[in-house]
Homo-oligomer: A and B are copies of this chain.
Amino acid sequence: MPIMNVADKFEKVSEMARRRGFFWPSYEIYGGVSGFINWGPLGSIMKRKIEDKFRDIFLRRLNFYEIESPIIAPERVFKASGHVDHFKEPMVECTKCRRKFRADHLLQEIAELSSQETDRMGLSEIWEEIERHSIKCPDCGGELSEPKYFLTMFQTTIGPYSESIGYGRPEAAQGIFVEFKRLYEQVRERLPIGFAQIGHALRNEISPRQGPIRLREFTIIDLEFFFDPEKPQCPLLDEVADEKLRLVLAENRLKGDETPIELKVRDIVAKGYVMVEWHAYFMALAKRFVASLGIPDDRQRFIEKHPWERAHYSAQGFDQEVYLDRWGWVEVAGFNYRTDYDLKGHMRESGVDMRVFKPSDKETVRVEVKIKPLIQNIGRAFGERAAEVLGILQNINPQALLTAFNENGFYEVNGLKITPEHVEVTKVEVREKGKHFIPHVIEPSFGSDRLAYAALEYAYSVKEDRVVLRLPRDIAPIQLAVLPLVNRDGLPEKARAVYKLLINEGYMVEYDESGYIGRRYARFDEIGVPLCITIDYQTLKDETVTIRDRDTWRQVRTEINRLPYLLHDFFRYKINFEDLGEPVEKQ
């Protein structure tokens, strides 16, 4: 039965991941719902360590910030962002069995068109191709309907009013754009500045497959980097100037050539392959980030998107792809030059000025709206909640208030209805030296689930017929295992004391006294524990333990009281395994 042997790496990794608690499909007891996965006891730790690594590289070290905003947003947010108009996919329905399919995917799978081709097609062209290739329902062979667009956002209702439509966010970015003015004030008007958000996002895919690669719910890591378009230079470029990136340029792709060219970041900038220097800077950081997850440089590439492949907000875009055994090159991150598209959209939709101010020698004049609360009217209207209303008025954006007055005749928050009679609105002419402008945005955006899966696939290896998960030591979910050599003679007690010591040092540690030591090592190799610490008879004599390396199976012996600072340095990559103690001769 040769068919049993074709298991590819995805199958092997998935089988291990399900058995040992990394990830598996959700809701299996209910027959499964495709597009949803769980990260389990081990997977969730590993995934979070990857996200923390992003925080360290892209936020803490750059003095950028993170925010956490809701997943559900009112319709106007996604009208402003263009998602209500653009975030949709072509869908066909079988007229016989009523199953629904992504029309472009059918063309790719059955008519063997490339995604480059289908991405350019409108509904009528898709329909022509379906008819030309006589494509039928892949399930029952029935006739397909004409394609329609399906909005791939999850829709819901906020509160008890059916007209109050909300959507699950398809990206975390809008939570940042909507709040940009507030955030900008909070960081004391620093520019350039980056704000990130890591959280669940929702895309209501028509028929997702591909396990952890195409999900309806996933974790997105969005970094929105705001800069003055008149100052697009990146002063940090030197730090990455010699980093080499493998680029697949759009101009070459047009000629049918997908071979990457390897270029230093300084040359990418010099040759004008990016419109904004920061674009190249973030791609270089991202390459290092992904490499640190165990994905070699030559299994990464950056592919420049054609205009028709780019999202509606993007003026230039590169996808960072990694090579996966089953699917070939798969996007793990996108780098888009979003210009002022989003802030402009929210400015138009909300009526709120999203511009920032830049001092200069030229004097300009503008009209500022000021609000004065009419305290007596407020006291009369709101009674004991008057103070609350005053608090709200103190913090409100005057323009938002006016907009609400114009549209609804009132402004409502927390059940308080503020009307024009509660405030005096004045307009003041302000003369100032400087100008107002909308910042531009470069966006690095990562898929956390895909990164975590890729890290697992690259870590998965077989040594002497056993699986060894060679995860980088700083993303391994369990850092240490403490094992008494045998389950008697006081060794378990001593091992428990060492376990306790390491727990108190803050490590993720497993204690295991069951079965032969070799089987225990094998179990910990399979889940990627970098070091096993074994307590043997010699420990009782001289307070030393052996430390075993997951990847080489070599062992060293060291004193228990030296463990805390040795391990501290080891897990920060300051020392290597050999530095942990004296080599132990193989018995």
Binding site for B on A (CB under 8 A): 1, 3-4, 6-8, 11, 14-15, 18-21, 24-45, 47, 56, 60-61, 63, 65-74, 76-77, 91, 100, 139, 150, 154-161, 166, 168, 175, 178-179, 181-183, 185-187, 195, 199-200, 202, 204-207, 209-211, 216-217, 219, 346, 349-350, 352, 375, 379, 386-388, 390-391, 394-397, 400, 403-404, 408, 411-415, 417, 503, 506, 508, 510-511
Contact = CB atoms under 8 A, between A and B. Distances in A.
A113 to B, nearest CB: 19
Given A66-B44, A209-B414, A415-B209, A60 B503 contact: yes
B178 A27 contact: yes
Residue of A1, A71, A511 with highest tally of chain B CB at under 10 A = A71
Q: Specify how many copies of this chain sit in the oligomer.
A: 2
B67 A28 contact: no
A65 B349 CA distance: 45
Contacts of A179: 26, 28, 38, 40
A154 B72 contact: yes
A179 B18 CA distance: 11
Given A29-B350, A72-B36, A387-B3, A150 B160 contact: yes
A156 B155 contact: yes
A305 B30 CA distance: 33
B30 A77 contact: yes
A390 B3 contact: yes
Secondary structure of the A contact surface, majority rule: mixed
Residue of A21, A160, A417 with highest tally of chain B CB at under 10 A = A160
Contacts of A37: 70
Contacts of A41: 65-67, 183, 186-187, 195
A390 B80 CA distance: 47
A561 to B, nearest CB: 16
A153 B437 CA distance: 42
Nearest to A395: B18
B202 A200 contact: no
B156 A387 contact: no
B387 A11 contact: yes
B183 A391 contact: no
Contact of A375 (B3, B60, B100): B3
19 contacts: A11-B387, A11-B388, A19-B186, A20-B186, A21-B186, A27-B74, A29-B178, A29-B400, A30-B400, A31-B413, A38-B68, A39-B67, A41-B66, A44-B67, A70-B217, A71-B200, A100-B160, A139-B417, A160-B204
A60 to B, nearest CB: 6
A507 B11 CA distance: 40
A503 B61 contact: yes
A391 B11 contact: yes
